[in-house]
Chain A
Amino acid sequence: MKVKALSRSQASTQRECSGDLRQHHRNLDPAYHPLQRPREYTRAVNAAKINRMFAQPLIGNLGQGHQDAVTHTAISRKSLLPLLSASTDGTLRLWDLPTRSCVSSINAHKMAIKGVVFGLDDDFYSCSADGTLRKWNISDSMSKIAEQIKPDDTWQIPGSFCSIDHHWTEHQFITASDSSVQLWSPERSTPIQSHSNLWGSDDTVHVVRFNPTEPHLVANCSMDRGIGLHDLRAGSEMKKMILRMRSNDLQWNPMEPLNFAVANEDYQAYTFDMRKLDRPTQIYKGHTSAIMSLSWAPTGREFVTGSYDKTIRVFNLIHRNGFAREIYHTKRMQRVFTVNCSMDNAFIISGSDDTNLRLWKARASEKLGQLTSREESAMQYRHALIKKYQHLPEVKRIYRSRKIPKVIQKQTSQAIIQKESAERKQANRIKHSKPGSYKFESERVRVVNKEIK
């Protein structure tokens, strides 16, 4: 008779002394892991709950903020540390982001500042409604004695400036003013190029942005509700389209620079493909008031918008549904005029009417700082679980739930009713009119009113 019976020796299963690592065995046979699916689902629900429990997006204010509403911020394209903010009372402040402290405060202009931008070197520019444009040096401006802080250079034009942007690779900057769009070089006292009466329109251009990769391509938004592209080499206009309402901000996607996002007055944001301006690639809904500012995450997969409805929303391109992934608000935050993403894709900075600058986490429930490997793997596991079960009602409900101010809830529900009613009307119109006389028009087609070439 051949006999073999199990016999586990103590040594094979137990550790010799308490300092040893515990022995671990695995048996992957599904019979010893029953109810896998329900258990995984329960873990997913718990992961969604944990995600919401740890969601504390607001890190805090930057120092004491400004004396007046914060209208513009700029972050350096080279360094993670500095932040520049500008206020309607004409002051500039330079911040050290890691310590959240004000490094220098400059009385830069006599009137409201309309744009700030970092240069390629150790410098930054500010332009104002009083028609002055000044170049500053970071190291000089950090001087303790206020009288010593003086601009490197000053330019003056009749009228007022509206916007400024610096070239991504060359020492050039472009401004928009009442009369024209002008290209400047820091070495010259007069503009290199001046474009006025673009596309036969006298309307003021209020936003200009250099394309990150095409060195001569500039996009602008003008008061006639238009968005235009023009080429600096030929000094000629390329394309222009007219939307239903005016656009407050425009930003090129940093990773796919043929796409850009537009913050519009009609409560919506749009992304456009430069080659195909007749319709947006996606409409981003959710805000209940005009969007004032927009900023891309450095990954080019998300952008942040700040709105007049006192909220900040984060939109994700990958979700492809046009709804915000995240909504940030606080009781004390007023109209948001400017938002900016930090270059490490971890923080969002907002400036609002309540004179404060706020620092937010880009992902609300993430722990700041270095994670241990166990923390990291647990976090990744939770993310994977939520991703796998995000279609299930319980997980979805918990994961997507956000506390929203009552006013915005009300306004959102109203907007939904309005939208449904418009859809119904269109459907009825098609149904009851002569076949072919009315055509179904999708929402995206209706965004662009007119295209000018």
Chain B
Amino acid sequence: MTEGTEESTDERTSSIARGMTTKEAGRVQHNLQTAKRSHSEDKALLSKYKDKVPQTALDSVAITTSEHLEHISKSKKLNDYQKRSMQKRVQYRRKDKVIQARVKVHKTKRYQAAISAADAHLILNTQSAGLVEAEHDMERTTSLSQHELKHHHLDQQTSRQIYDLTLPHSPYGLKYDRSGRYSLLYGQRGHLAIMDATHLQLHRELHIQERIRDVSFLHNYTMMAVAQTNHVYIYDDQGTEIHKLNDMNDPFAIDFLPYHWLLTCVGRSGHLKYLDTSTGQLVSTHNTKLAGHNVLRQNPSNAVMHLGHANGTVSLWSPASSQFLAKLHCHKGAAVTSMAIDLSGNYMVTGGADRQVHIWDIRKFRKTHSYFTPAGVPQSLDLSQRNVMGIGHATHATFWSPEALLRKVKDPYMHHSVHGCGAVETLRFRPFEDVCGLGHGKGVSSIVIPGSGEPNLDTTEANLDPNQDKKQRREAEVRALLDKLQPNMITMDPADIGGVEDSSPEIRQQRLESLEATANAKNDARKKKQKSKKRGRSKIQTKLRRKSQNIIDHQIVKQREQKEEVEKKAKEEARQSSGESKPKSATPALQRFF
């Protein structure tokens, strides 16, 4: 180990004191030194953490302005006493030294937290990601084949990850669990297999005599949801059917929100359904009003569901609102065939039947650029943890570097084709590994895409540890349940929860009142619209009768005359019968009294 400067040796000794070995401490020191050198990189890292530290209530103290005071004094709703006390409160907040000191401490703490997180990032993230680099201008990374990779570049352990499985119940699809340890293979003609992707062992295999449209692991690999012909079923890892979800009928696509414990499903009728898997209750059902084949993906950063429709639009949904949160017209005159959203929730990639792949900035709801898929329609799309974009089009899988999300890149990063195996149905990156799984007409292929997986694990996050044992898994399950988020907390910006509202309490009150008024107005309108419908209006007999109501022909004239005659007779008879009881002696003037 080389001798460092005095300062850096100090750092080393302090890190040794923290319980590290000298070797580790040396590594930390090295990291810190490199960090100091790349100052600009450091700044970017800091801003990354600073943005993520949300505002809290204390920040609002600084917001108070003279405008606020003026607003209160002009208000008509408050009486004099209330105005006085509110103004005083605003002034008091400004003058109060204790609060001001608290604000200061709080702000420094926030900043310090960001700095220490950025520092820790440099220290903790010891592993570097994989890469493929061309060594001279004549070389193209695209031309690197899996065969070449396997036999010339990779070590034994990683090269084992390149394989093809020929399976009978094709076409095949696959999904990985959140830790990347287990994969779920599903043949659309009823074959289901859980595989330990690390050890390349079959965990459990089962045959269902039904068509499988989609599958998803639930909170961990011990449970999975399967979208079959008529309903969604839940199986455990032994292959036992645990539940049949009658609420989710004719399912096309399913997905699981791990932090909310929500299973989402979209079916033939175009209804998006959310089911709480911890309680088994259907949380909400939204009618998207767009039936048919829909593409369903979740935004991992805020748990909003993205639905791609056959008319080329993508709508964003949360269980709390029956209306979509946003809608993007992504592909003009062509169906959305595939979709992927990156881990930070900033970019969405959509593939359409027009053979275009568009990159969207979800923060601005704007398309930044697009790519063309020459071989065919992009049937499957996925973004890896480090934002490598994989596109499956016809028999080809094309991979674009992370930079391709930010700006238009000329050449793809890597390429792989499954000749003679039919189209690539599913393409999924394996989390925390440089591996990508392809499901196609002949089975499943696994390929290695260096630089796609995140090298640094986080074992504190529930179910993100690929190497967790049984005890850890159980512990994580309980922790995850305790931290389960309520379905109505899904919003476009999750940092809003517990944040600060900039407006004054009075404005807030006004807004609430206006909301209430509009809600009530809707109710009133609904009441007025209600008609009193009669039964049997649509009978053919009644309809004909109604039709002929005002037509006067000779038959009706005849009927009327007859009716009149009968009535006349009846009247006369009545008069005669009553006249019998009248005394004949009475004068005509008096007769009316009888």
Interface residues of A (CB under 8 A from B): 1-7, 9, 13-14, 22-43, 46, 388-389, 391-392, 423-424, 426-427, 430-431, 440
A6, A13, A31, A431: the one contacting B301 at CB < 8 Å is A31
Q: Judge whether B498 and A34 touch: CB under 8 Å.
A: no
Q: List 14 A-B contacts (CB under 8 A).
A: A1-B139, A2-B133, A23-B467, A25-B459, A29-B125, A31-B344, A32-B461, A34-B259, A34-B301, A35-B259, A35-B302, A37-B498, A38-B494, A424-B81
Contact with A along B479-492 (1 / 0, CB 8 A): 00011111001000
Q: Judge whether A35 and B498 touch: CB under 8 Å.
A: no
Q: Does B455 contact A (CB under 8 A)?
A: yes
Q: Judge whether A388 and B301 touch: CB under 8 Å.
A: no
Q: A36-B52, A423-B81 are in contact. List 4 more A-B contacts (CB 8 A).
A: A1-B144, A32-B461, A427-B79, A431-B80
Q: Judge whether B79 and A6 touch: CB under 8 Å.
A: no
Shortest C-beta distance, B360 to chain A (Å), equals 18
Q: Does B6 contact A (CB under 8 A)?
A: no
Q: Judge whether B131 and A32 touch: CB under 8 Å.
A: no
Q: Which of B149-157, B232-240, B289-297 contacts A (4 or more CB under 8 A)?
A: B149-157
Q: Judge whether A41 and B434 touch: CB under 8 Å.
A: no
Q: Does B130 contact A (CB under 8 A)?
A: yes
Q: Judge whether A27 and B125 touch: CB under 8 Å.
A: yes
Q: Judge whether B132 and A7 touch: CB under 8 Å.
A: no
Interface centre among B149, B434, B458 (most CB of A within 10 A): B458
User: Which residues from 447 to 499 on chain B have a C-beta closer than 8 Å to any C-beta of chain A?
Assistant: 448, 450, 453-461, 464, 466-467, 469, 472, 482-486, 489, 494-499
Q: How far is the CA of A9 from the CA of B157 in the complex (A)?
A: 8
Q: Does B71 contact A (CB under 8 A)?
A: no
Q: Provided the pairs A4-B450, A431-B80 are in contact, do residues A33 and B461 lie with their beta carbons within 8 angstroms?
A: yes
Q: Provided the pairs A22-B472, A430-B80 are in contact, do residues A28 and B483 lie with their beta carbons within 8 angstroms?
A: no
Q: Provided the pairs A4-B131, A6-B453, A30-B48 are in contact, do residues A35 and B144 lie with their beta carbons within 8 angstroms?
A: no
Q: Provided the pairs A25-B458, A25-B459 are in contact, do residues A4 and B130 lie with their beta carbons within 8 angstroms?
A: yes
Q: Judge whether A2 and B120 touch: CB under 8 Å.
A: no
Q: How far is the CA of A26 from the CA of B460 in the complex (A)?
A: 7
Q: How far is the CA of A40 from the CA of B432 in the complex (A)?
A: 25
Chain A residue with minimal CB distance to B139? A1
Q: Provided the pairs A6-B158, A427-B79 are in contact, do residues A38 and B485 lie with their beta carbons within 8 angstroms?
A: yes
Q: Judge whether A37 and B494 touch: CB under 8 Å.
A: yes
B49, B158, B497: the one contacting A37 at CB < 8 Å is B497
Q: How far is the CA of A254 from the CA of B124 in the complex (A)?
A: 48
Q: Which residues of B contact A424 (CB under 8 A)?
A: 79, 81
Q: Does B135 contact A (CB under 8 A)?
A: yes
Contact with A along B134-171 (1 / 0, CB 8 A): 11000101001000010001110110000000000000
Q: Which residues of B contact A392 (CB under 8 A)?
A: 498
Q: How far is the CA of A22 from the CA of B467 in the complex (A)?
A: 10
Q: Which residues of A contact B197 (CB under 8 A)?
A: none
Q: Which residues of B contact A41 (CB under 8 A)?
A: 489, 497-498
Chain A residue with minimal CB distance to B82? A427
Q: Which residues of B contact A36 (CB under 8 A)?
A: 52, 494-495
Q: How far is the CA of A25 from the CA of B300 in the complex (A)?
A: 21
Q: Judge whether B56 and A388 touch: CB under 8 Å.
A: yes
Q: Which residues of B contact A23 (CB under 8 A)?
A: 459, 467
Q: Which residues of A contact B310 (CB under 8 A)?
A: none
Q: Judge whether B467 and A42 touch: CB under 8 Å.
A: no
Q: Which residues of B contact A31 (CB under 8 A)?
A: 301, 343-344
Shortest C-beta distance, A204 to chain B (Å), equals 40
Q: Judge whether A46 and B132 touch: CB under 8 Å.
A: no
Q: Provided the pairs A26-B458, A28-B124, A32-B454 are in contact, do residues A38 and B497 lie with their beta carbons within 8 angstroms?
A: yes
Q: Does B433 contact A (CB under 8 A)?
A: yes
Q: Judge whether A46 and B482 touch: CB under 8 Å.
A: yes
Q: Judge whether A1 and B81 touch: CB under 8 Å.
A: no
Identify whether the interface residues of B are mostly helix, strand, loop, or mixed: loop
Q: Judge whether A7 and B158 touch: CB under 8 Å.
A: yes
A22, A32, A391: the one contacting B464 at CB < 8 Å is A32
Q: Judge whether B157 and A34 touch: CB under 8 Å.
A: no
Q: How far is the CA of A392 from the CA of B485 in the complex (A)?
A: 16
User: Which residues from 71 to 129 on chain B have a C-beta closer than 8 Å to any C-beta of chain A?
Assistant: 79-81, 84, 117, 120-121, 124-125, 127-129
Q: Which residues of B contact A13 (CB under 8 A)?
A: 457, 466-467
Contact with A along B37-54 (1 / 0, CB 8 A): 000000000001100101
Q: Does B303 contact A (CB under 8 A)?
A: yes
Q: Judge whether B121 and A28 touch: CB under 8 Å.
A: yes
Q: Which residues of A contact B448 (CB under 8 A)?
A: 5
Q: Judge whether B464 and A34 touch: CB under 8 Å.
A: no
Q: How far is the CA of A440 from the CA of B67 in the complex (A)?
A: 24
A30, A32, A39: the one contacting B259 at CB < 8 Å is A39
Chain B residue with minimal CB distance to A423? B81
Q: Which residues of A contact B139 (CB under 8 A)?
A: 1
User: Which residues from 350 to 368 on chain B have a C-beta closer than 8 Å to any C-beta of chain A?
Assistant: none
A5, A25, A28, A32: the one contacting B117 at CB < 8 Å is A28
Q: Which residues of A contact B433 (CB under 8 A)?
A: 6
A5, A28, A39, A388: the one contacting B485 at CB < 8 Å is A39
B131, B456, B467: the one contacting A27 at CB < 8 Å is B456
Q: Does B551 contact A (CB under 8 A)?
A: no
Q: Judge whether A27 and B124 touch: CB under 8 Å.
A: yes
Q: Which residues of B contact A391 (CB under 8 A)?
A: 57
Q: Provided the pairs A5-B158, A43-B483 are in contact, do residues A37 and B458 lie with their beta carbons within 8 angstroms?
A: no
Q: Which residues of B contact A38 (CB under 8 A)?
A: 259, 485, 489, 494, 497
Q: How far is the CA of A32 from the CA of B52 in the complex (A)?
A: 12
Q: Provided the pairs A1-B132, A391-B57 are in contact, do residues A27 and B457 lie with their beta carbons within 8 angstroms?
A: yes
Q: Which residues of B contact A42 (CB under 8 A)?
A: 483-486, 489
Chain B residue with minimal CB distance to A44? B498
Shortest C-beta distance, A401 to chain B (Å), equals 19
Interface centre among B432, B472, B498 (most CB of A within 10 A): B498
